[in-house]
Structure 1
Amino acid sequence: MRKKLALAITGVATAFALTACGSSEPTADAAATLDPANPTVIKVGASPVPQADILNFIDENLAQEAGIDIDVVEYDDYVLPNTSLADGSLDANYFQTEAYLATEMKEKGYEFAHGAGVHVEPMTVFSKKFDNAEDVTEGTTVLLNNDPVNQIRGMRVLEEAGLLKNIADDDSVLTVEGDKEKNPLGLVLKDANAEQVPQYYMSDDSIGVAVINGNFIVQANLNKDEILAQESGENNPNANFLTWRDGEETPAIAKLEELLHSDEVRDYIEKTWNDGSVIAAF
């Protein structure tokens, strides 16, 4: 059984702390109580791309033999997957990074555990006006994600591309825009919800550069020829993973965690997103 529920966009969570959050390996014996003839349903919330795609691949190709049946619930925002997990509407979710989860847990008191990283959606710098990062001119308008975790990731990519300098972990568009040392080109830094950044980039000619999350690159079908710079996947701490309520590592969750790190899933990721917009993290 599999069903999808597309939920309306409600905006990206606002968070202000970047703290560490430890992972927790499922301790349940995944094979002990799972029966392929009577699979256990596990309800998982996920972003549409690539998380739901990966879960659907597992559900269609690997789950039944493993004794689980994944009920995929799609969310178009970064808030509801955690509130739904906390209130018991979901058994697990798959959409977030360690830094984002740590902030959510600190700010909202969630008691969650998570597995190992599955994939990275690299932050990518796009421009319709410039062919190379070194061509970006003074005063160019740059659009970034407005949630603090991904905004600092975006500014790090801009720093690696030579457009910003000496970015600190607690920086934001507000602290950097007027700082001549950090912003020597006097770039006009703006931000918006993650799902809106590609929309504005495609429709607003005043935006010279945009830094876009990998999953929204796929959804918006952006032109890869417009890429100026991209976050590296190697040793990237921003991998997405499976999250569940702490202390509720059921056999079905343990089995799904195992399947998410299977050779079949790695091959699926590499073949489906061969443009590098999604990278396996294992």
Structure 2
Amino acid sequence: MKTWKKIVAAAGAAGLALSLAACGGSSAGDNNKLIVGASPDPHAKILRYVADNLAKKQGIELEVKEYTDYVQPNEALNSGDLDANYYQTVPYFDDQTTKNNWQFDHGKGIHLEPLGIYSEKLKDIKELQDGAKIGIINDPTNQARALKLLADNGLIKLPKDEKQQKVSVIAKSKEYNPRGFELPEVEGPQLVRALADLDIAVINGNFAQLGGKKPSEALILESTKNNPALNILVWKKDSEKVEAIKKLDALLHSPEVKAFIEKEWADKAVLPGF
């Protein structure tokens, strides 16, 4: 009877060992499966290209979850529902991680959805008269980008203090707005419609496309060079999957992805940033 009990106990122990071994193997395999949150276009499209064409060769598996807002992907990453996300710029990342004390890390810039200066009245930016109306998005993060594009092209000057780089400061200042431009603030989705009442407007790529404008129609298009608005891959600093995540980040900076972006968005609505 004692011998039988020993046999049962031994069998149970062996079964437990096998079970633990199986779990351990599964866990190791799971470290190569990544759930990545992304905006539908272009982020999710780029990720799916990687999943279908490049990921398996690096031993990683991708599941892409789409989000249509800018809040949930970071919250889902922080809670562990995502392994990484791909939808945000460095300034947005810095702002949100500071406000929420999130311990995130990120890779280098992957792509840019360029801002453009559009007009229905002018064919060349040199035609812009003093005192003209320039539409500016009212969203603070994108507004800073829009003002920088105007400054880079000599239309306004930016205060050295970044906190003062706002329409409310610049519009009233002879120092920063020597040509006396009017700078009405407009909701992003309304900027294309507002062009009829404006001389020019600085419009985000997604809003321009929704309004039927092509990047090729822009008087000036934002450059990728040293641009903090490049979109990045983000992950938790203490992630157990960091090795696989960095493989993914490398793939997102590969010649294949660059060629895919240039072909898929030949109209320059999306530009590779590397």
TM-score of the superposed pair, with normalisation by structure 1: 0.76
Relative distance call for 1:47 and 1:212 in structure 2 (3 A) is farther
Q: Output the CA distance in 2 between the equivalents of 1:224 and 1:97.
A: 20
2:179 to 181, 185, 188: 185
1:268 to 257, 260, 269: 260
* Larger displacement relative to structure 2 (53-62 or 208-217): 208-217
Residues 228-257 of structure 1: CA deviation (Å, up to 9, x unaligned): 212222233332110011111514312211
Superposed CA RMSD in Å reads 2.6
1:246 to 208, 214, 237: 237
Alignment coverage as a number of residue pairs: 245
- Secondary structure of the corresponding residue to residue 196 of structure 2: coil
- Secondary structure of the corresponding residue to residue 197 of structure 2: coil
Identity %: 39
**Which residue number corresponds to residue 81 of structure 1?**
73
Shift of 1:272: 2.0
**Which residue number corresponds to residue 10 of structure 2?**
none
Q: In the alignment, does 2:73 pair up with 1:90?
A: no
Letter in 2 for 1:42: L
Relative distance call for 1:260 and 1:219 in structure 2 (3 A) is farther
Residues 104-162 of structure 1: CA deviation (Å, up to 9, x unaligned): 11122111011122122222211112112222234433232333332222111112223
Q: Is the 8 A contact 2:214 2:269 kept in 1?
A: no
Q: Which has the higher helix share?
A: 2
Residues 213-233 of structure 1: CA deviation (Å, up to 9, x unaligned): 334445555134531212222
Relative distance call for 1:105 and 1:39 in structure 2 (3 A) is closer
Q: Is the 8 A contact 2:192 2:207 kept in 1?
A: no
Letter in 2 for 1:208: D
Q: Output the CA distance in 1 between the equivalents of 2:253 and 2:215.
A: 28
Letter in 1 for 2:183: L
**Which residue number corresponds to residue 68 of structure 1?**
60
Q: Output the CA distance in 2 between the equivalents of 1:78 and 1:247.
A: 23
Q: Is the 8 A contact 2:118 2:217 kept in 1?
A: yes
Relative distance call for 1:121 and 1:182 in structure 2 (3 A) is same
Letter in 1 for 2:129: T
**Which residue number corresponds to residue 6 of structure 1?**
none
Q: Output the CA distance in 1 between the equivalents of 2:49 and 2:79.
A: 27
**Which residue number corresponds to residue 192 of structure 2?**
201
Q: Output the CA distance in 2 between the equivalents of 1:244 and 1:122.
A: 24
Shift of 1:101: 0.8
Structure 1 unpaired stretches of 5+: 1-32
Q: In the alignment, does 2:153 pair up with 1:161?
A: yes
* Larger displacement relative to structure 2 (257-266 or 221-230): 221-230
**Which residue number corresponds to residue 13 of structure 2?**
none
Relative distance call for 1:48 and 1:280 in structure 2 (3 A) is same
